[in-house]
Structure 1
Amino acid sequence: MIKTVLFDVDGVLLSEDHYFDASALTVWELLISDHYLGLAPLKFRTDVHRGEIKLIRSDVFQDDQVLSYLKSRGLNANWDMIYLTFSCQLIELLAQLDDRDRTAEWLSSPIDRSVLQEMGQALREVNPTIRYQAFLENFHTTAETKQGLMNHLDVLAREKLGVETSIFAEKGALWLVCEHVSQEWYVGDSHVQQSTGRPSVQLGKKGFLADEQTLAPAEEIARLFSRLKEKEVTIGIGTGRPQLETIQPFQHLNWLSYFDENTVITADDVLRAQKAFTDKGSLSKPHPFTYVMALLGRDRGERSSVEARLPMAGADEVLVVGDSLADLIAAREIGCQFAAVLTGLSGEKARADFEKHEADYILDDVMELERLL
């Protein structure tokens, strides 16, 4: 009998499309804006229309093949996807510069925005070619997952640049640059300071927060939450979204009232725990921390979730609802049942993967959950 249901958000309740749009725009801006590499012949602008965004995303992520690849390797965080995609492009560009000494100097210390601008100035002198397809060429031969993908960037730097470095395997200054640009695009000018604690570098971005797309009519999802609570099923959230990007849409959609605040766990909770327990490494999915805290409650503190004994007692009465293998892996480690929904990036194509990994249930969309229970 299911007593608790924990929902992922993106690909389950809300569409991931705007996140992927913002991710593509981030990589594009880092490559062409004068604030970063500045490789565009024309002045960078933020007023890109829907058709332009579609074309940019198609180029950057190669008709979403890059996104599908990263999802299949258990990567769940858009910031990591952006970082991997841009860093691969950066290595490819530096290879065209063919200046080993200068490259070695750049890769020996943190790569912040000023370093990117310095790199860009040198790159413009050789008029390099941006090859978005290089990501798939460089990564298709590796069997790495998650942190291993970051490590593979250092391998590429050694192979293509002749430089020994560990700069890419770390979530350091360059990762933070990627994160900040992504947040500018997603939350817009009015929320950047609240979201990141830093002001915008590039103003003029409206953001996507007020334009969330639900994966079923919002009122029907609200009725699902209501019926679960009527059946005395506890519901919670375990998402890779930051708190602002979870709470604000839920308030706007009138969903927040169905949840106990202590069981809505976001990327902000993960980042706080990682800072408190640095020896534990990454705690984002597929690490089970997010769902463990959603089960135990934020008010129990981070330590209880970080140090929880797994599999957890009673976890067989918990159902995790997600759209990715990262969700499935986390659920398995906790001992939960798992319901895969086919409303994520890969859609129906994901069915074979979920069958291969023996998901307990495979649902066309989240609304099938009521029938299941």
Structure 2
Amino acid sequence: MFTMILFDVDGVMLSEERYFDASALTVHELINSPQYLRGRDEFSPQPQEEEIRRIRKEVFADDKVLNFMKSRGINANWDMVFLQFSYQFVRALSFLHKKHAGLVERIAQEGISRDTLRQVGEYLEGSDFAPDYAGFVQTFQASTAQKHELLLYLNTLLTQETGVSAELFSRNSSLWVICQETFQEWYVGDELYEKTTGEKTRQPGKRGFLKDEIAIVNPQAFAAMLAELKDKGVELGIATGRPTLETHVPLEEMGVFSYFNPRRVSTASDVLAAEEQYPERAPLSKPQPFQYLRSFLGADTPLAEIMNYEIPLKNGDEILIVGDSVADFLAARSLGCKFAATLTGLTGQEARAKFEELGADYILNDVLELKQIV
């Protein structure tokens, strides 16, 4: 009998589609907006559905880029945006280095800001530079980098392409923050972005996707299962790569958030707060076990205790983690917990072979099949 079940959200309760759409639009903006690299493609803060489909198909190469990132343990959309845009930015710097070596060397010394992106865009204007989105997979396949080592590998690529040594690319970099903030603008829209950050969106006109979420399973059936688990004395929690707002709002709309113990809910917002206090321990997002450990111990547990807690857990066999990604699996194994994979993520049933190879304890067609094992 499990005493606690900790759930991922995307790919388990909610479809990841809108997150991936927002990720593609973020990369598209950073490359094509006049505020950034001012590429050749037209940019609009209010694309129609057909245009969103086209942009995502292009930016993530029919989702091949997303599948590759997930296979290497990348689970957070912020990291996915950062990786694809930074790869294109490295290519742009390599292109410019032939005639403007001093520019690249200066950027290596000073770092990357929004002004830097605009300046690079000015240098690129009128040139024949074009992004190569599909080239991401082939380039990164040459590396054995896993998880967040992929972010650092961008520095290696820059040195290989330009001969300039730099540490511009990491989870703590200023460019990562730019990618994260721009993604948030797309996902929550102008009104909520200003309400939650106190700042206006830098590119006004974004409607947001927060109220356009898609439930994976019937919300009423899911709520009934959660109620039954609670009646059996099982503690229910969440560990998600979504920020707090994007976790609470859609799950409340579904009518299921109240079944989870608020002490056992950890979000990307909690990860960022912890990384600010312990920058030397970053990154703490999945596949690192921090989020699931925080939910297990409880949000009121002092952060220092969580950071230094001994793992694997002594009672790990009593804890079940439910997720759709390799990153969730790796976090569960680090904690010594049981893992149930749901086949409702990006690759659907195709993920079964991968989870069988990894040795997942349970493989479920969807989260409602938990009833068969609990």
- The interval holding the TM-score normalised by the smaller chain is over 0.9
TM-score by length of 1: 0.97
Are 2:39 and 1:39 aligned?
yes
Please name the residue that 1:243 is paired with: 244
Are 2:354 and 1:353 aligned?
yes
Q: Distance in 2 between matches of 1:321 and 1:7?
A: 5
Please name the residue that 1:219 is paired with: 220
The DSSP-based 3-state class of the residue aligned with 1:339 is: strand
* AA partner of residue 256 (structure 2): W
Please name the residue that 1:323 is paired with: 324
Q: Distance in 1 between matches of 2:198 and 2:179?
A: 15
Please name the residue that 2:143 is paired with: 142
Are 2:164 and 1:163 aligned?
yes
Please name the residue that 2:76 is paired with: 77
Please name the residue that 2:93 is paired with: 94
Q: Distance in 2 between matches of 1:197 and 1:323?
A: 34
Please name the residue that 1:15 is paired with: 15
Indicate if the aligned counterparts of 1:250 and 1:256 stay in contact, CA closer than 8 A: yes
Quote how far apart the aligned CAs of 1:41 are.
Answer: 5.9
Are 2:368 and 1:367 aligned?
yes
* AA partner of residue 5 (structure 1): I
Quote how far apart the aligned CAs of 1:170 are.
Answer: 5.1
The DSSP-based 3-state class of the residue aligned with 1:300 is: coil
The DSSP-based 3-state class of the residue aligned with 1:338 is: strand
Quote how far apart the aligned CAs of 1:136 are.
Answer: 1.5
Please name the residue that 1:51 is paired with: 50
Aligned residues: 372
Are 2:62 and 1:63 aligned?
yes
Q: Distance in 2 between matches of 1:10 and 1:358?
A: 22
Of 67-76 and 102-111, the range deviating more from structure 2: 102-111
Q: How do 1:150-229 residues align onto structure 2 when only pairs under 5 Å count?
A: 150-169=151-170, 171-229=172-230
* AA partner of residue 173 (structure 1): S
* AA partner of residue 96 (structure 1): F
Indicate if the aligned counterparts of 2:170 and 2:176 stay in contact, CA closer than 8 A: no
Q: Distance in 1 between matches of 2:338 and 2:14?
A: 22
Please name the residue that 1:5 is paired with: 5
What do the CA deviations read for 1:117-139 (whole angstroms, capped 9, x no partner)? 00000001323122212211211
* AA partner of residue 241 (structure 1): R
Q: Distance in 1 between matches of 2:36 and 2:130?
A: 16
* AA partner of residue 58 (structure 1): K
Quote how far apart the aligned CAs of 1:301 are.
Answer: 2.2
Q: Distance in 1 between matches of 2:334 and 2:195?
A: 34
The DSSP-based 3-state class of the residue aligned with 1:321 is: strand
Quote how far apart the aligned CAs of 1:299 are.
Answer: 1.0
Q: Aligned in 2, Cα 1:74/1:258: closer, same or farther, shift over 3 Å?
A: same
Q: Distance in 2 between matches of 1:40 and 1:86?
A: 15
Q: Aligned in 2, Cα 1:71/1:254: closer, same or farther, shift over 3 Å?
A: same
Q: Distance in 2 between matches of 1:153 and 1:294?
A: 32
Please name the residue that 2:308 is paired with: 307
What do the CA deviations read for 1:299-352 (whole angstroms, capped 9, x no partner)? 112222211111112121110000011111111111110000000011111111
Q: Distance in 1 between matches of 2:40 and 2:204?
A: 18
Quote how far apart the aligned CAs of 1:218 are.
Answer: 1.2
Please name the residue that 1:108 is paired with: 109
Quote how far apart the aligned CAs of 1:78 are.
Answer: 0.6
Q: Distance in 2 between matches of 1:234 and 1:199?
A: 39
Q: Distance in 2 between matches of 1:200 and 1:145?
A: 33
Quote how far apart the aligned CAs of 1:9 are.
Answer: 0.3
What do the CA deviations read for 1:219-268 (whole angstroms, capped 9, x no partner)? 11111111111111111001111000001112211112112211111111
Q: Distance in 1 between matches of 2:2 and 2:27?
A: 42
Indicate if the aligned counterparts of 1:91 and 1:161 stay in contact, CA closer than 8 A: no
Q: Distance in 2 between matches of 1:107 and 1:264?
A: 39
Q: Distance in 2 between matches of 1:93 and 1:242?
A: 31
Percent identity reads 43
TM-score by length of 2: 0.96
* AA partner of residue 336 (structure 2): G
The DSSP-based 3-state class of the residue aligned with 1:367 is: helix
Q: Aligned in 2, Cα 1:238/1:118: closer, same or farther, shift over 3 Å?
A: same
In structure 1, runs of 5+ residues without a counterpart are none
Indicate if the aligned counterparts of 1:24 and 1:60 stay in contact, CA closer than 8 A: yes
In structure 2, runs of 5+ residues without a counterpart are none
Quote how far apart the aligned CAs of 1:194 are.
Answer: 4.1
Q: Aligned in 2, Cα 1:369/1:295: closer, same or farther, shift over 3 Å?
A: same
Indicate if the aligned counterparts of 2:311 and 2:336 stay in contact, CA closer than 8 A: yes
Q: Distance in 2 between matches of 1:170 and 1:319?
A: 29
Indicate if the aligned counterparts of 2:235 and 2:261 stay in contact, CA closer than 8 A: no
The DSSP-based 3-state class of the residue aligned with 1:298 is: coil
